[in-house]
Amino acid sequence: MNEVTTTYWCEHAWLGGDRAVSKVQVDVRDGRVAGVHTGIDDPPAGSRNRRGLTLPGLANGHSHVFHRALRGRTHAGTGSFWTWREAMYEVAARLDPDSLHALARATYGEMVLAGFTCVGEFHYVHLDPGGKPYADPNAMGEALVAAAADAGIRITLLDVCYLHGGIGRELEPGQRRFSDGSVDAWIRRVSDRRWTDHARSGAAVHSVRACTPEEIAQVATWSELQRLPLHAHVSEQPAENEDCRAAYGRTPTEVLHDAGALADRFTAVHATHLTDDDVRLLGEARTAVCLCPTTERDLADGIGPAGRLASAGVRLTVGSDSQAMIDGLEEARSVELDERLVTGLRGTFDAARLMTTLAEDGHCSLGWPDAGRIAVGQRADLVTVALDSVRLAGSDLASTLDAVVFGATAADITDVTVDGVDVVEGGEHRGIGVAAELAAAIGEVTP
């Protein structure tokens, strides 16, 4: 049987290294890159032509998809992360599998429009509003997987173990939907899940606030046996560190280390308030850290030590987290720009390093090591950024990558291909009216 090859001709493409390459032909077969050819002056007959700069697919390393309903509703007034959390709980209480599917479908559609080809969904709304399992205990997770399929994005469902309302505290009413009751019950539910080609499994501990050291160790051991990615919120807030030291005499990172959680498949999310020893432990274990700059600044969390982490050997990724903004380019450049604010120096992370963070390292942290590069054998994910918008007009084409990483936004992305399937064309999602569906879905879960 003859296999059909689809050819893309890219005006410019980033194939790794410091600069973009002009006039690149990418051959795609069975969802994979079958060939990459440079110096192709004229588009081949029948090729799909991409004007602008074509990047590998972007990875959204950390998402709470239902938080999209809070955008524009929680930004005014005073308060902190802890007051914002109460508004989040109100939305969580309104969700059911149908409303979650509708909201996730539209939000994942927004992510694809922004160039994300894979999302790590940190999923903890497991039970019904009364705190009881659905007839299908994984109904909420299945809604997310189906929504991702509809939107044309791959998903790693990072199923969260969430057992306590804080260190030494019972669950609050708004948290009861999140808990399986024990690690054993969490394992039974997660082990019963069915998977498809676009979806993979991952494990997560919500935080040291939601699981004891013994429970973390149990989750870490199980995820190691299953060879799954393991993620956890780490040191997002100073109060978390203070409570952890008071209870255990150690930082959250030290608790995770002693529980056997730190490894090359582990990703610490946020990691904003770390000691030097924390940074060393994360680096020695070859972990990843997922920074979420647009959320961390929206919630007044602080700025993570990106430069120190990278110097220690930690792989950095980025995520949209609370969906205050869905723009991978903004998340990536914020890693460098925030570092400038802290250090007073420019150039810790150049454009190529930030693209690796956003693409290859992000996919690896989610369990998709065969994505994030435009190279033979890799998944055929292509994201094209227009170079003629008002934001990029007049840019030096010799510095195309710099111009895009530091100047473009999600609005400049015109075309997105995921696993060889064209999902976005001309800036429009081929299967979802994203804006209209977002408005309708958010209206269902907000007062």
Q: What is the DSSP string of 94-151?
A: H--HHHHHHHHHHHHHHHHHTTEEEEEEEE---S-TTS---SSTTHHHHHHHHHHHHH
Q: Where are the beta strands (DSSP E) in 141-281?
A: 154-161, 199-205, 230-234, 266-270
CA angle 155, 144, 299 (to 5 degrees): 85
pLDDT at residue 79 is higher than 90? no
Q: For residue range 375-405, what is the model confidence (pLDDT) as tens digits?
A: 999 999 999 999 999 999 988 767 899 999 9
pLDDT at residue 340 is higher than 50? yes
Active site residue 327: no
The residues that bridge with 407 in the sheet, in sequence order, are: none
What DSSP designation does 271 have? -
Which architecture characterizes domain 58-365 according to CATH? Answer: Alpha-Beta Barrel (3.20)
345: helix, strand or coil:
coil
Q: For residue range 291-337, what is the model confidence (pLDDT) as tens digits?
A: 999 999 999 999 999 999 999 999 999 999 999 999 999 999 999 99
The residues that bridge with 50 in the sheet, in sequence order, are: 10
Lowest-pLDDT range of 56-60, 74-78, 391-395: 74-78
The encoded tokens of residue 365 equal 């942290």
Report the C-alpha gap between 50 and 414 in whole angstroms. 9
* pLDDT, the chain, mean: 95
Q: For residue range 155-202, what is the model confidence (pLDDT) as tens digits?
A: 999 999 999 999 999 999 999 999 999 999 999 999 977 778 899 999
The encoded tokens of residue 443 equal 């209206």
Report the C-alpha gap between 330 and 337 in whole angstroms. 10
Same fold flag, 5-56+379-429 and 58-365: no
277 CB-near residues (< 8 Å, 6+ apart): 251, 253, 254
pLDDT at residue 82 is higher than 80? no
Report the C-alpha gap between 164 and 144 in whole angstroms. 24
Report the pLDDT value the prediction gives residue 239, as an integer from 0 to 100.
94
User: 1: pLDDT confidence band, cut at 50, 70 and 90?
Assistant: very low
| Candidates 12, 62, 270, 363; catalytic one | 270
CA angle 186, 103, 134 (to 5 degrees): 35
Closest by alpha carbon to 223, among 249, 186, 168? 186
Report the pLDDT value the prediction gives residue 195, as an integer from 0 to 100.
78
Closest by alpha carbon to 258, among 217, 312, 226? 217
CATH of 5-56+379-429, one of 3.20.20.70, 2.30.40.10, 3.40.50.170, 3.40.50.2300: 2.30.40.10
280-301 burial code (b ≥16 CB/10 A, e <16): bbbbebebbbbbbbbbbebbeb
| Candidates 159, 278, 298, 321; catalytic one | 321
User: 80: pLDDT confidence band, cut at 50, 70 and 90?
Assistant: confident
pLDDT at residue 356 is higher than 50? yes
As a whole number of Å, the end-to-end CA separation of the chain is 56
Q: Where are the domains of the chain?
A: 5-56+379-429, 58-365
pLDDT at residue 215 is higher than 90? yes
Active site residue 321: yes
pLDDT at residue 222 is higher than 60? yes
Percent of the chain whose pLDDT exceeds 90? 92
Q: What is the DSSP string of 51-79?
A: EEEEEEPEEEEEE-GGGGGGTTTSSSSS-
Cα 295 off chain centre by: 12
Q: Is 69 exposed, middle or buried (0-12, 13-18, 19+ CB in 10 A)?
A: buried
User: 2: pLDDT confidence band, cut at 50, 70 and 90?
Assistant: low
The residues that bridge with 317 in the sheet, in sequence order, are: 290
Q: Where are the beta strands (DSSP E) in 217-367?
A: 230-234, 266-270, 288-291, 315-318
